[in-house]
Amino acid sequence: MYNVAIVEDSMDEFATLNDALLRYGKESGSEFRIVHFINAERFLEAFDCKFDIIFLDIALAEMTGMELAQSIRKTDKNVPIIFVTSLAQFAIKGYEVSAFDFIVKPVVYGDFVFKMKRLMNHMKTSPVTKIVISSSSKRVVLPSNEIYYVEITGHTIAYHTASGVIEAYDTLRNAEAALSDYGFAKCNSCYLVNLAFVDGVQGYDLLIAGDRLAISHPRKKEFMKILHDYYGKGVV
């Protein structure tokens, strides 16, 4: 199931895109839950970082689709944005907000299928999930493949990433529930690590992203098996 937002102020244009998406879903065996927003303001009121795909009309009134995309990127840097526009000359500006693609109006189903196949292939070959973190100062969306490891100290959970450490009030159990299917495992009761970033194991020390984390004695055998299974053979 893919959650899709369509931000389009023309009901006719929305209907065309909606029908194309539903038709593609039936033909490809994909399921889409579609939510329509008549303008950027309505979208921002409901935006909870849970959409998997966002279609944006560039020529929206008040706040344009490009301005809305800039606002989205402040919180979610990775959700695929596809611009739908009759102004093809403006599509190049989509690169400024890391747009995945653009579709020229009026939507032609054959062209739409080509774009969707490219998008779905991208999404299926990049198995990631998103963690929505509400810290004291802001809300951040972290793709799982950007997290090195998660650390719990008291009631504070810290996400260690390439961009730094982001802290929130949460439990490691919640993080594990969200990330365990995406290549994460606990090396002790304090750390949940992204196996893709493990550089090696020295005794009871785990090397990851320049840090050394302790592997608990009772957990080492199980953790090493998970690590070896993840890579397919011993690499540490």
Tens-digit pLDDT profile for residues 3-41: 999 999 999 999 999 999 999 999 999 999 999 999 999
Domain spans, the chain: 2-124, 133-231
Exposure string of 24-60, with b = 16+ CB inside 10 Å and e = fewer, is bbeeeeeebebebbebbeebeeebeeebbbbbbbbbb
What's the pLDDT band for 233 if we cut at 50, 70, 90? very low
Range in 40-44, 134-138, 225-229 with the lowest mean pLDDT = 134-138
Whether the CB-CB separation of 185 and 220 falls below 8 Å is answered with no
What tokens appear for 220 in the block? 């080492």
The DSSP element (H or E) to which 25 belongs, if any, is helix 11-28
pLDDT at 43: 95
CATH number of 2-124: 3.40.50.2300
- Region label for 50, one of left (φ > 0), alpha (ψ between -120 and 50) or beta (otherwise): alpha
Domain 133-231 in CATH 3.10.20.30: no
pLDDT tens-digit profile of 202-218?
Answer: 999 999 999 999 999 99
Q: How far is CA 49 from CA 106, 110, 145, 165, in A?
A: 28, 30, 17, 20
Is the pLDDT confidence value at 234 over 50? no
pLDDT tens-digit profile of 158-197?
Answer: 999 988 898 988 899 999 998 988 889 999 999 999 998 9
| 2-124 matches 133-231 in fold | no
202-210's contacts with Cβ under 8 Å and 24+ in sequence apart are 208/148, 208/149, 209/148, 209/149, 209/160, 209/162
Beta strands in 20-78 (DSSP E): 32-37, 53-57
